[in-house]
Structure 1
Amino acid sequence: MSDTASTTAFGPVPPGWLWGAATAAHQIEGGNTNSDWWAFEHAPGSPAMESSADACDSWHRWPDDLALVSEMGLDAYRMSIEWARIEPAEGEFSLAALEHYRRILASAQDRGLKTAVTFHHFTTPQWMAVQDGWMNAEIVDRFARYADIAVQHLGDRIDMAATINEPNVVAGLGYATGGFAPGIAAGQVGLRAATENFVGAHVKARDAIKGGPGEFPVGLTLALPDLVVHPDGTLDGQGFRYDELPADAPGADYLRVMAGVYLDAAQDDDYIGVQTYFTQHVAPDGTVLAVPADERVTQMGWPFTPESLGRAVRHAHAVAQVPVIVTENGIATTDDEERIEYYARSLASLRQAMDDGVDVRGFFAWSLLDNFEWAEGFRPTFGLAAVDPVTFDRTLKPSGRWYAELVWASRS
C-alpha cells in the first residue's frame, strides 16, 4: 500500500451525506430464472462466460449482507429489486416476491440504515425480452406499471430510489452489439430505439414512484466514464472530453446518445447517480481504442485511472444541474492493497471536486461482495467482502475495514 493510500482521509462530510455499499439483485441473489440474463447465460454460443447459478445466495443470505454493511458503520445500503421476480409473467405480480424485498428493506431500516433501491439493474423479464425488450416502445408503460405496483408495496420503506441503472450500458451492449442480454445486435437502430425507450421509461417510472407512499429522492444512475473522443480515431491524435468537443465535431453525436440525453432527462430529477470506473478513449463512432500495452489495467482490462471520478462528477453536475450521488465506484482486482489505493485516490479526486463547489451528496462503493459480474462471470472481484463459493460465507477484506475507518474519521 502506498503512503498516500494508508493515510488518506476524506475530511468532514456535509449534513445528510450517505456513505454506502452497493449490490444488484441478479448479481447476488442466484436463481433468477425468469430474467433475460438467465436466458442469455444459458443460450448456446452466449458470450457470457458462465451461469449466475446461485450467485452469492443472497436470496436467502441477505441478513448476512446487511450485517456487513452495519459492521462497516455505513449509512446506507444500495440494492435492487428484481422485475422478473415481481412480474414473472406479463400482468402477473408476485406478492411473495414483494414481501421478500419488503423484509429486506424493513430489516435494513431497523438496523439504522438508509435504503437505496434501484428498480431496474440490467435485467428484464424474459417475457418482455422476447418481445424485443427495450427496443419495443410498449416497455415504457409496462415498466411504469411495474414501478407503480412495487412502490405501492415498498415505498414507505425506501429512503432513495433509482429508476434504472446505467441504461446507456444496456442500450449499447444489449441492443447494439449483443454482448449483454438479451443479445440483440441491431447496431445504431437498436441503440437509438432502446435509448429513446429508456428515457421515456425513466420519466414515467419516476412520476409513478413519486406518486407512491413515502417521500424520497428519485433519479437514475448513469455509466459515466471519463470519456475522451479522438476525432481522428487514434490515440496519437488530439482527444476531447465531454465538455471540450465541439457540437458539430465527429463523435459529438455518440456522446449525445451515450450520455447527453440522460443528463438532460436528469434535470427534472432529485439527483443524478454517477458511476465511474476509468478513463476511456474512443473513436468518433464509439469504438474503444486499445489500452497501450504498458498501461496499468484492472481485472476488467480497464485503465487504472481512479482520478476519473472527480472529472466525471464535475461534468454530470454541470449538465444535469442537480445534486450528484456517486452510486458506484470501485475496482476489480485480486490485490486488496491495490483496491485501497484505488479508493484512496478516487475519493481524493471526489473531495477536490466538492471543494471546488460540486454538490455531491454521497458515495456508494461497488461492490459490497465479490459477485457475478455479468458476461465476465465470477472471475473479476470488486468486493469489499469475499464470498466462499461453496459455503457462501462472507469475509470482510482489509479494504472493507479501511473503508470503515475512513467513514468513521469523516464524522469526527
Structure 2
Amino acid sequence: MKQFPKSFLWGAASASFQVEGARNEDGKSDSIWDATSEGHIKRNVNGDVTCDHYHLYKEDVAFMKELGLKSYRFSVSWPRVMPQRGVVNEKGLQFYQNLVDELVQAGIEPFCTLYHWDLPMWVYNEGGWENPQIIEEFTEYARVVIDALSDRVRYWMTINEPACFIGFGYFEGRQAPFKTSSMSREQRFRDLAHISKNVLLCHGRGVQLIRERSKLKDPQIGFALNARNFVAYNETEAGIEKARNEMFDIEKGFSMAASWWADPMVLGRAPKYMDEILTKEELEFISQPLDYFGYNVYFANNYNGDMKEPDLGWPGMPRTQTGWPITPEVLYWSPKFLYERYSLPILITENGMSNLDFVMRDGKVHDPQRIDYMYGYLSALHKAMEEGIPVIGYTAWSIMDNFEWAEGCDPRFGLIYVDYRTLKRIPKDSFYWYKKVIQEGGLEE
C-alpha cells in the first residue's frame, strides 16, 4: 500500500461559473463570461444553466459526503455577490453561506477561492484588470466574502490561474474577455507587467484581509497557480537542471512561467519587466506570508507536441479527450521544483483528465482510463512525498462534469457524470475508486 498521511486532504473542486448556472437569478449580474462569450464557445453553449449547482447544491454535497471527501474547493462568483459597485446582493451571498453550512454539516472542509475568472462586467467596463482601480473593487468584494464566511472557512485561495485569465484572456483571445494583442514581444511583456501588477496587488490585499478579518484563528492562505511544467526525462544532473530552468524561464514562458507570479507572491522578488514597475513597498505587500503553495497541474510540456521548440511527444502517445498528454511524472517533478524554490508546503489544487465518458447500456459510466490516470499521478505524488516534499493534499478536478470555458460542455472531467438535458447526476466508476482510496488512505500496490 502506498500510504498517505492521515491528515492528507483528499479533495475535489469546481468553480462558480462552471457549475452554478442561475445566470439571472436572485440579483446576480453578468460576468465577462456571460457577456462576451457568444461566438467564442465550442458548439455555441453558454453558462446560463450548466450543472445548476445553484439549485442542486444539497444533492451535490450529499454526493461529496458519500465520496468521503475531506475537502471541497469552490469559488465565489463576484457578480453574484456584488452585482454593481457598492451593492451587496444578500441573496447571492446567502447561497455561499448555505453551501458552506452544508459542507460543514457533511464533515467536509470548505476551501474558498475568491477569484476564479468570472470578473463582473461592471468592473470590466471600468477597465477590468488593466485599471488599477480594480484593487479597490476587489478589496470591497473580498471583505464582504471574508466577513460572511470566515467563521466556517479556514482554507482560502486568493486568485486562480492568473496565467490563463490574463495571458489567454488579454493577449491570446482564448478566454474571456477574448482580447488579442498584435504588439511586439517586448511591448507585450511590458503590457503584461502592468496588468499583472494589479493582479498581484489584489492577491496581497486578499491575504491581508483574511489575516485581519478571519473569525477563525490561524486561517490557511494560498493561491492556485498553474504554469508550464517540465520533467527531467534525462535524470542526470544536467537533465534535472534543464527541466528546472525551463519551468521558471520567463522569456520562454511569458505569463505561463511559474516565476512570473510566484516570485513576487512568495519571494518578494520582481521578475524582469516587473522590476521596473514594482516598488520595494509593493513587493513587501504582495509577498505577505502564505501557508501553502496551491498548484493546478495536468501535464508536462515536454510532450505537448504543439510547442515551437522541439519536444518529446510522439505520434499516438496517450492523450486525454482534450488532447493533453498523459504524463504522471509531472506530479513528482513539479512539486519538487516548486518546493526547492519557494519552501512552501504544496497543495495540489487541481488535477484530472477529460475522458470520453457516456452512459452505457447498463446505465453506468465506466471510465477506467481516469482511474488509471489518477493512480499514476497519485503514485508520482507519493514518490515526491517519500523524498521529503511536504504535500498537504490532492484536489481532483472536477467533482462533476461542467462548463469547460471556451471548450464548452464537450470535455468531461468529472468524477460525477452530468446529463445536461435532465441535470441527472451519475457517479462514475472513478468516483467509487477514489472513495476507496480515501477510505484506505492510499493506493494499493
Same fold (TM over 0.5): yes
Work out which of the residue numbers 128, 133, 143 in structure 2 matches 1:133. 128
The one-letter amino acid of 2:227's match is: L
SS in 2 for 1:198: helix
Shift of 1:73: 1.1
Q: CA RMSD in A?
A: 2.5
What CA distance in whole angstroms lies between the structure 1 residues aligned with 2:156 and 2:122?
Answer: 25
Q: Label 1:86 to 1:183 Cα distance change in 2 as closer, same or farther (>3 A).
A: same
Q: Label 1:289 to 1:191 Cα distance change in 2 as closer, same or farther (>3 A).
A: farther
Cα contact 2:82–2:88 (8 A) shared by 1:
yes
Shift of 1:287: 5.5
Partner residue, 1:109:
104
Partner residue, 1:235:
none
Q: Deviations over 1:21-43 (max 9, x none)?
A: 1011100001335100111222x
Shift of 1:137: 1.6
Partner residue, 2:401:
370
Q: Label 1:370 to 1:289 Cα distance change in 2 as closer, same or farther (>3 A).
A: farther
Work out which of the residue numbers 138, 141, 166 in structure 2 matches 1:171. 166
What CA distance in whole angstroms lies between the structure 1 residues aligned with 2:35 and 2:412?
Answer: 24
Work out which of the residue numbers 12, 19, 22 in structure 1 matches 2:13. 22
Shift of 1:181: 0.6
1:12 is aligned to 2:14:
no
Q: Label 1:337 to 1:225 Cα distance change in 2 as closer, same or farther (>3 A).
A: farther
Partner residue, 2:284:
none
SS in 2 for 1:310: helix
Structure 1, unmatched stretches of 5+, are 1-8, 230-237
Shift of 1:224: 3.2
Shift of 1:401: 0.4
The one-letter amino acid of 2:59's match is: D
Matches for 1:57-136 after TM superposition, within 5 Å: 57-136=52-131
Q: Deviations over 1:105-143 (max 9, x none)?
A: 011101111100001111100111223311212112221
Partner residue, 2:198:
197
Cα contact 1:226–1:241 (8 A) shared by 2:
no
Partner residue, 1:261:
260
Cα contact 2:230–2:247 (8 A) shared by 1:
no
Q: Label 1:107 to 1:132 Cα distance change in 2 as closer, same or farther (>3 A).
A: same
The one-letter amino acid of 1:199's match is: L
The one-letter amino acid of 2:374's match is: Y
What CA distance in whole angstroms lies between the structure 2 residues aligned with 1:406 and 1:397?
Answer: 15
Q: Label 1:174 to 1:387 Cα distance change in 2 as closer, same or farther (>3 A).
A: same
Matches for 1:303-382 after TM superposition, within 5 Å: 303-334=325-356, 336-382=367-413
SS in 2 for 1:227: coil
What is the TM-score normalised by the length of structure 2? 0.81
Partner residue, 1:404:
435
Q: Label 1:96 to 1:288 Cα distance change in 2 as closer, same or farther (>3 A).
A: farther
Cα contact 2:163–2:227 (8 A) shared by 1:
no
The one-letter amino acid of 2:258's match is: A
1:34 is aligned to 2:30:
yes
What CA distance in whole angstroms lies between the structure 2 residues aligned with 1:26 and 1:246?
Answer: 29
Shift of 1:194: 2.6
Q: Which moved more, 1:312-321 or 1:99-108?
A: 312-321
Aligned residues: 388
Shift of 1:261: 3.2
Q: Which moved more, 1:69-78 or 1:255-264?
A: 255-264
Q: Deviations over 1:181-238 (max 9, x none)?
A: 1112136255333322211110111111221122320110111342379xxxxxxxx9
Shift of 1:101: 0.5
What is the TM-score normalised by the length of structure 1? 0.88
What CA distance in whole angstroms lies between the structure 2 residues aligned with 1:57 and 1:90?
Answer: 26
Partner residue, 2:285:
none
What CA distance in whole angstroms lies between the structure 1 residues aligned with 2:10 and 2:394?
Answer: 5
Q: Label 1:197 to 1:281 Cα distance change in 2 as closer, same or farther (>3 A).
A: farther
Structure 2, unmatched stretches of 5+, are 24-28, 233-238, 268-288, 358-366
What CA distance in whole angstroms lies between the structure 2 residues aligned with 1:360 and 1:239?
Answer: 21
Cα contact 1:37–1:182 (8 A) shared by 2:
yes
The one-letter amino acid of 2:320's match is: T
Q: Label 1:246 to 1:51 Cα distance change in 2 as closer, same or farther (>3 A).
A: closer
Q: Label 1:200 to 1:384 Cα distance change in 2 as closer, same or farther (>3 A).
A: same
What CA distance in whole angstroms lies between the structure 2 residues aligned with 1:28 and 1:51?
Answer: 11
Q: Label 1:307 to 1:165 Cα distance change in 2 as closer, same or farther (>3 A).
A: same
SS in 1 for 2:294: strand
Shift of 1:288: 7.9
Q: Label 1:274 to 1:260 Cα distance change in 2 as closer, same or farther (>3 A).
A: same
What CA distance in whole angstroms lies between the structure 2 residues aligned with 1:245 and 1:126?
Answer: 36
